[in-house]
Structure 1
Amino acid sequence: MMLSFSVVIPLYNKGRYVYDTIQSVLGQTYRHFEIIVVDDGSTDDGPSIVGAIDDERVKLIRQPNGGVSRARNRGIDAATGDIVTFLDADDWYGPYYLETVAALAAEHPEIVFFGCAYHRALEYVPGDLSRPPQPLPVSVQSNYYELLRQHHPGVHTNSVAIRRMQLAAMQPCFPVGESHGEDQDLWFRLSEKFTLLYCSVMLVGYRIDVPGSLMMLRPKGMLPYFERLQQRALSGQLTGEQRRSALRLVGDSRSALAREYLEYGDRAEAFRQLRLGWRACSQHWLISLLMVAGFSPKMALRFRKWRGGRAQAG
């Protein structure tokens, strides 16, 4: 039996991009799919562009504005495919994405959670992602947190696929009311329940913004999904190496946030973040502690720029 896909696309004022996004799905080499576009109260011409696409596989759902998490959850509820994938309305799939996931899912019926690498680009170029090599370079990731700690980019919203029955059992999958890190929150919880099968080939595209203002803004604190991860680890919901890796990941994130507070001039909050993240016990955390203790805000800013320059040069 051929596996079918439900591609969930949340739409909010992306009329400039959504036609190309949908066409990237309609152009897939694998044909067994439905596209569920959930318009989240757009005020531009995006919904009318979707409605004008003459293909019965494209379904448009309209709802009052409630945020991207609510839109994705609505799409999951409407999905009928065996596997659910997600695609932001300004991004795209390479032509072989669904074909590749279908092959992996058929070969590994025990796997629920699939992911692949993604291509970062300023603009969408049709057909810019070539056919993947055979055999596919795949790896089983039993500790997603350790993977992220090794500076791996992880998965992106456009590059994950989950079997629908297991995903529906986790509804509401995306935390309603959150629009930063709401996707990582789900990938974290999925990785705690299921093993990730990861393909290192770039099969989907992610549109990156043109760099904006360099003006320093006050840090907004630790994102809620990291707070929830730390709570799950400390409460005993995570155990063993997964628990240790999760606490180190949170600690390293708090260390980075502490340096941001130092740049802003809030040394007290920087120290508080380091206290909350002391379980990281990593070189990253120790360097941040030394910086917060001895650097001025200007020194911290110069250090970040120097470090960024080294990373670009490498």
Structure 2
Amino acid sequence: MSEHTLAAAHFADTRLLVDEALRRFEGGAQTVILDGLDEDRYHEAAFPLAQAGYRCVNGTPAHRFVRLAHDKQHIVATATNDNFHFLQPVMRLMREQGHLVSEVSSVDLNAQTLIGVLKHCDVAWFEWGDGMVVPASKLPKYCRMVCRIHGYELFQPHFLQANWQNIDEVVVVSEAMKARFIALLGDKLPAMLRITVLGNLTDHQPLARVTPHRNRFYLACVARFSPPKNLHLLLPLMQALVKRDKRYKVFIAGRVEDERMYYSFCQLVETYGLQKHVVYCGTLPGHDMAKWYQDKSCLVSVSYHETQGMGIFEAMLAGLKPVAFNAAGGLHEYLPEQYRVSDIDEAVASITADNAAPEHYAREGEVLLRQAQLRSLYPRLWQREENDARLFSILIPTWNRERYVVPAVCSALTQRDPHFEVVVVDDGSTDGSLALLDGLNDPRLRVIRKAHTNAPDTRNRAIAEAKGDYVVWLDSDDLLHANALRHYRALLAQFSQVDVISCGLEKHGADKQFYSLVNHPPARRLHQVIHGNFISNPGSCVRRSLYARVGGYNPAFVRAHDYEFWSRAVGEAQVMFSACCNVSYRLHDGNLTGVGKRVDLSWEYRIFTALVERYTPQALLPAHSPKAREAFIAARREQLYSQCEVDNLFIVIDAINPPLQHLTSQLALLARQKDRQFHLLIVADKPLPFLGQPVLIADRICPQAIAAYIAQKLPGQFCRSYLLQNAAFTGDATQAVAQLKKSMLGEADVPSLFHRLTA
């Protein structure tokens, strides 16, 4: 394969890097590796490359791009101990459909390289339930994950170490194994996990020319030396057959897994005098099996556990009559009763009976394996929801985000789902955001310009512009993972009643942290909202009609407007949670809310107050007694009030311009206040030592300078500052500060005496 590597550091402009990558592809390169891309530059490069038909298939240690049609998928396959034998027919079917299938070896595979693969594929297939599915399921989830369990894994403890919450679908080969899987997981069985029963695909075909003359005394046994295969049972069977006719001989093909079992088997063969009647042929390659079967008449299976018995059916396709001891695990679901026996006598009777022609068993084996039907069923495990053409609207409100908005929009436009639009609503930006967006050429993108108001009003405009059945929110400083919409479409196909899907988040940048990595099925969750906001707004998927039912965002809530909306929506909506990490969430000084950042929590207090007015205590706290509800609401109100930090209040007096008597009257007014829990700050253009009060020297009232002064005085605390004005006050003047604090909680209007300066 022709590979070309380009160092991103050599290209100051990402467009030049993309142009060079396209030239390399046009020149015959099958793979172009872009080395040194950070998250933002990756998305800026991935969008135009995707438009040209190229996709990233691995992100570690560098981003590897290959040609892949828009309607085809990248499927990653892993297998325990790299045993891809049973998976080969499945991968062949995937490739026949035009998908790119990458076989990933488990040798030297670590968490970082595994994430690099999983983050850039559509589907991850884990063959066997005790291999890479265990560590992969404990990593952040980025793609659809399917695990096929064959049976033996369910009798070992290792598979229980997997986080089955992160697996979308488990495939087992029998109803018996499905029942065991469910029983073993017990109350830890994820409610959202799909469990599907599908037989194995096989490359074996009925022989075009079946050897008509078989040695009726030659028996085949295809089994490895391991306890479940129960090969010691062959010995009494052969003793009974040899008593009938000394020409009976069994040929065993299979590897030795248990040396002690093989040793004891060989010793007993000698003890029973069966050396001429039991022949071990060792491990045979698959392409030699047809020839090996040619002179044999029956296939004997003595296993005590078989889920499907593929070895039995492969022998049938070669024209052999099956004689199988009844086994747990699901064999009875596939093999008809006439070919199953319960004891030595029944086995002897079946083997010594007249056999049908080899062609009969070959045709019957083909019917029983149902390969044509399975080939039509397997693709559902990896194909998109092709019959679902519902439109998603990715909504991106933005204001002065020229540094981040292009990567955000590019990440939205590289979604692997075919049915979506991207709507950017600009809230009157004064930087270069709009000019940068003009450089993105895609018919799915609409940019709406409006006069500057605030964030909730801009979100409402985005909803009004949306055409989709569902909206997906993306902040203009965040990034949307390429599988987000496809993941939501799959969930909506499974849970049609859902109104809101909340997803997992990862912190943007090299220092990864993860949030909200939980899975919960759709439910009414009103009882959770009184404890705080539990729905992540970034990346959330919302049924658009929900806004018509409960109203949009409240423009008065300059902060926590998402929580305020959820507090109304949860009374109507079915809400579910997905651990899929759909959003890379950027933390910076411009966030309205950020981890570790002091914010105005009075908005949460207002939401709580509205909650207890809107809903009954029983609806909010259904599991509590009436007395416990009353106590909880009182304690929660007190807790939220204390978090509002209303006493971190600075009353600012302007002593720069007004005459001295104004200063005296203002100080006298504050001295009469019944609520004295506040800080006084006098701003003057010269020292005022006679006052004995803090004075900030400045030539004008500057909110930024006041905020800096307050941050120095009360570091790490959320504070508010108000300018005391010379205005008339109606009412009890001694209650002015108390009324001001009530206004901070939305319980009163701001008194005319005060003008807000900061926070």
Going from structure 1 to structure 2, the CA distance change for 1:210 and 1:179 (only over 3 Å counts) comes to closer
**Deviation readout 1:225-244 (Å, 9 max, x if unpaired):** 531431341x3534415155
Q: Does the CA contact (< 8 Å) of 1:114 and 1:198 recur in 2?
A: yes
One-letter code aligned to 2:561: E
Structure 2 CA distance, aligned partners of 1:123 and 1:60?
A: 31
Structure 1 CA distance, aligned partners of 2:545 and 2:522?
A: 21
One-letter code aligned to 2:465: A
Give the alignment partner of residue 163 of structure 1, picking from 524, 534, 543: 543
Give the alignment partner of residue 7 of structure 1, picking from 390, 394, 404: 394
Shift of 1:51: 2.1
Structure 2 CA distance, aligned partners of 1:10 and 1:198?
A: 23
Structure 2 CA distance, aligned partners of 1:144 and 1:159?
A: 21
Shift of 1:58: 0.5
Note if 1:53 corresponds to 2:433: no
Q: Does the CA contact (< 8 Å) of 2:567 and 2:607 recur in 1?
A: no
**Deviation readout 1:197-242 (Å, 9 max, x if unpaired):** 1113322121112699xxxx9986611x531431341x35344151
Q: Does the CA contact (< 8 Å) of 2:550 and 2:568 recur in 1?
A: no
Structure 1 CA distance, aligned partners of 2:636 and 2:523?
A: 16
Q: Does the CA contact (< 8 Å) of 1:111 and 1:197 recur in 2?
A: yes
Going from structure 1 to structure 2, the CA distance change for 1:120 and 1:263 (only over 3 Å counts) comes to farther
One-letter code aligned to 1:29: R
Give the alignment partner of residue 561 of structure 2, picking from 174, 179, 182: 182
**Which structure has the greater CA radius of gyration?**
2
Shift of 1:256: 2.7
Q: Does the CA contact (< 8 Å) of 1:141 and 1:198 recur in 2?
A: no
Structure 1 CA distance, aligned partners of 2:549 and 2:619?
A: 26
1:95 is aligned to 482
Structure 2 CA distance, aligned partners of 1:219 and 1:138?
A: 29
Going from structure 1 to structure 2, the CA distance change for 1:159 and 1:211 (only over 3 Å counts) comes to closer
Going from structure 1 to structure 2, the CA distance change for 1:238 and 1:56 (only over 3 Å counts) comes to farther
**Deviation readout 1:93-125 (Å, 9 max, x if unpaired):** 112111111111121111111111211235799
Unaligned runs of 5+ in 1: 271-299, 303-314
1:237 is aligned to 615
Alignment of structure 1 residues 27-66 onto 2, 5 Å: 27-66=414-453
Structure 2 CA distance, aligned partners of 1:104 and 1:69?
A: 28
Alignment of structure 1 residues 204-223 onto 2, 5 Å: 204-209=583-588, 222-223=602-603
1:286 is aligned to none
One-letter code aligned to 1:184: Y
1:105 is aligned to 492
Q: Does the CA contact (< 8 Å) of 2:546 and 2:569 recur in 1?
A: no
Structure 2 CA distance, aligned partners of 1:94 and 1:249?
A: 37
Shift of 1:31: 2.5
1:282 is aligned to none
Shift of 1:4: 1.3
SS in 2 for 1:157: coil
Structure 2 CA distance, aligned partners of 1:38 and 1:124?
A: 30
Shift of 1:92: 1.2
Going from structure 1 to structure 2, the CA distance change for 1:221 and 1:268 (only over 3 Å counts) comes to farther
Q: Does the CA contact (< 8 Å) of 1:92 and 1:124 recur in 2?
A: no
Note if 1:193 corresponds to 2:580: no
Shift of 1:144: 5.4
Shift of 1:159: 2.7
Alignment of structure 1 residues 117-132 onto 2, 5 Å: 117-122=504-509
Give the alignment partner of residue 455 of structure 2, picking from 44, 68, 76: 68
Structure 2 CA distance, aligned partners of 1:124 and 1:54?
A: 33
**Deviation readout 1:121-176 (Å, 9 max, x if unpaired):** 35799xx99xxx9xx94344533563784x8x7333213111112223334x1111
Going from structure 1 to structure 2, the CA distance change for 1:269 and 1:100 (only over 3 Å counts) comes to farther
Count residues in correspondence.
257
The higher-RCO structure (CA 8 Å, 6+ apart) is: 1
Structure 1 CA distance, aligned partners of 2:394 and 2:471?
A: 6
Structure 2 CA distance, aligned partners of 1:169 and 1:192?
A: 11
1:143 is aligned to 525
Give the alignment partner of residue 81 of structure 1, picking from 468, 485, 495: 468
Give the alignment partner of residue 22 of structure 1, picking from 409, 416, 425: 409
Structure 1 CA distance, aligned partners of 2:442 and 2:511?
A: 22
Q: Does the CA contact (< 8 Å) of 2:519 and 2:576 recur in 1?
A: no
Percent identical pairs in the alignment equals 22
Structure 2 CA distance, aligned partners of 1:122 and 1:184?
A: 26
Q: Does the CA contact (< 8 Å) of 1:263 and 1:301 recur in 2?
A: no
Q: Does the CA contact (< 8 Å) of 2:530 and 2:620 recur in 1?
A: no
SS in 2 for 1:53: coil
Structure 2 CA distance, aligned partners of 1:124 and 1:81?
A: 35
Going from structure 1 to structure 2, the CA distance change for 1:23 and 1:145 (only over 3 Å counts) comes to farther
What is the CA RMSD across the aligned residues, in angstroms?
3.9
Structure 2 CA distance, aligned partners of 1:204 and 1:3?
A: 22
2:177 is aligned to none
**Deviation readout 1:164-200 (Å, 9 max, x if unpaired):** 12223334x1111432111111122111221311113
Shift of 1:7: 1.1
Q: Does the CA contact (< 8 Å) of 1:29 and 1:99 recur in 2?
A: yes
One-letter code aligned to 1:205: S
Name the one with the larger helix percent: 1
Structure 2 CA distance, aligned partners of 1:70 and 1:164?
A: 16
